């Protein structure tokens, strides 16, 4: 039991929630949630989901050097991947999406995974842009940001900038990169050289879009648009609890979104449950909001972020005749082997 990751993840969630609720007035928390004006939930949810439509078109562009795929074909796989991120630990949904897309579109899973990694890097760069604008022109928390937050903010541009530069250099000097990969793989056992060579080379092919300035710019624009939809939804949702605009301006909603999403990049529970609420609550307390109301808002916000996408993912999983158990099993195989797992098999319709 103690060797299973699920045990430690569950223990982490319990500990984090105990810490989160240690000084909470449950009556006040319940009042804040029950008296929320749910009229604001609908426009917030519409704008939030629009961000996923934009992400779908972004993936079409990212995959275009590998294969011309359609939005209609990619969108269900995209949502299933995000659903898996919400219910599986360690962002396993990225592997799930690569497996499913490779099978569905009959392309390399490592090339698919490369485009997903590119997504995350563009997301990180976009988050840094939004964070910088919010810090420069928005109102900062009255109590200031903690040392940990400040350190993360200062390090993030270097982390994502370095990753982007490395991937760009891999594509720019593809011939040299290929030679280096072949040299390294040459030291491995013969039975591993072929499979690992194919994975490495097709992974680089999946990064090919970086050679096109026009398409890279489109990906950056769609990334900015998708995340702008997300923090706009945060802002609208805050009106229902009378947090906006008194405690949360449009730009501070961008700051909140950037900080909570950067925080949950570290290994944590599925969907960032617990950590998302804690980091957001601390930031809102810095703006002068009481802790109970801040926690109530973060719980409602996380509900909007997780539940609709998870339900849509379940719907598309059923529509695509897939088994969640099989998805989870294949993901575990991928983690164990340190390479993309074999093709996902669809269940036959009963």
Kindly report, residue by residue over 143-158, the tens digit of the pLDDT.
666 677 667 766 777 7
In the chain, where are the structural domains located?
27-108+128-145+220-337
Composition of the chain by helix, strand, coil, percent to 5: 75, 0, 25
Q: What is the mean pLDDT of the chain?
A: 83
Least confident of 67-81, 223-237, 251-265: 251-265
| 342: pLDDT strictly greater than 50 | no
Q: Indicate the Cα dihedral angle 212, 215, 219, 222, nearest 10°.
A: 160
**Spatial distance between the Cα atoms of 276 and 302, rounded to a whole number of angstroms:** 8
Residue 40: both structure tokens together: 């604001």
Query: Over 70: is that where the pLDDT of 331 sits?
Result: no
**What is the spatial distance between Cα 271 and Cα 264, in angstroms, rounded to a whole number?**
8
Q: Are 243 and 37 in contact (CB under 8 A)?
A: no
Return left, alpha or beta for 349; rule: phi > 0 is left, psi -120 to 50 is alpha, else beta.
beta
CA of 43: how far to CAs of 115, 234, 298, 304, in Å?
31, 11, 18, 11
Comparing CA positions, the residue from 172, 163, 328, 156 lying closest to residue 258 is: 156
How confident is the model over 277-329, as pLDDT tens digits? 988 998 898 888 998 999 999 999 999 999 999 999 999 999 988 877 766 66
pLDDT at 184: 85
Q: Tokens representing 148?
A: 């940990």
Identify the pLDDT of residue 5: 60
Within 13 Å of residue 33, how many CA atoms lie on the same side as its CB? 14
pLDDT at 89 over 80: no
pLDDT at position 4: 61
- Report the alpha-carbon distance of residue 206 to residue 110 in Å, rounded: 8
Kindly give the interhelix angle for 324-337 and 93-105, rounded to the nearest 10 degrees.
Answer: 100
In contact, 230 and 51? CB cutoff 8 Å: yes
Judged by DSSP in three states, 218 sits in helix
| pLDDT of 345 strictly over 50 | no
Alpha carbons 63 and 57: distance in angstroms, whole number: 10
Residue predicted with more confidence, 102 or 238: 238
Return the percentage of the chain with pLDDT > 90, whole number: 37
Lowest mean pLDDT among 112-116, 180-184, 274-278: 180-184
Instruction: Report which listed range, 51-65, 124-138, 276-290, is most confident.
Output: 51-65
pTM of the entire predicted model:
0.82
């Amino acid at each position: 039991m103690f060797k299973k990751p699920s045990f430690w993840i569950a223990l982490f969630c319990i500990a984090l929630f105990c810490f989160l609720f240690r000084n909470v007035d449950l009556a006040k928390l319940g009042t804040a949630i029950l008296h929320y004006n749910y009229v604001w939930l609908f426009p917030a949810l519409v704008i939030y989901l629009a961000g996923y439509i934009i992400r779908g078109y972004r993936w079409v562009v990212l995959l275009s050097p590998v294969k011309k795929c359609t939005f209609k074909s990619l969108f269900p796989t995209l949502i299933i991947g995000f659903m898996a991120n919400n219910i599986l630990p360690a962002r396993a949904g990225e592997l799930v999406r690569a497996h499913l897309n490779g099978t569905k579109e009959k392309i390399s899973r490592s090339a698919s995974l490369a485009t997903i990694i590119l997504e995350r890097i563009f997301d990180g760069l976009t988050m840094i842009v939004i964070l910088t604008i919010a810090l420069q022109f928005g109102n900062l928390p009255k109590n200031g940001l903690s040392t940990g937050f400040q350190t993360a903010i200062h390090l993030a541009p270097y982390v994502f900038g370095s990753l982007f530069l490395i991937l760009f250099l891999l594509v720019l000097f593809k011939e040299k990169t290929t030679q280096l990969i072949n040299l390294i793989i040459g030291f491995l056992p013969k039975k591993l050289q072929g499979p690992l060579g194919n994975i490495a080379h097709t992974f680089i092919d999946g990064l090919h879009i970086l050679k096109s300035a026009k398409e890279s710019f489109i990906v950056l624009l769609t990334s900015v648009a998708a995340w702008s939809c997300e923090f706009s939804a945060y802002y609208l949702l805050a009106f229902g609890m009378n947090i906006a605009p008194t405690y949360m301006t449009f730009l501070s909603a961008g700051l909140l979104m950037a900080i909570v999403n950067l925080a949950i990049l570290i290994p944590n529970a599925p969907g960032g449950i617990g950590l998302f609420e804690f980091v957001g609550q601390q930031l809102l307390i810095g703006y002068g909001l009481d802790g109970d109301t801040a926690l109530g808002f973060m719980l409602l916000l996380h509900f909007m972020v997780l539940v609709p996408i998870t339900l849509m993912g379940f719907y598309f999983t059923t529509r695509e005749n897939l088994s969640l158990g099989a998805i989870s099993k294949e993901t575990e195989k991928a983690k164990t082997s340190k390479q993309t797992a074999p093709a996902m098999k669809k269940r036959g319709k009963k």
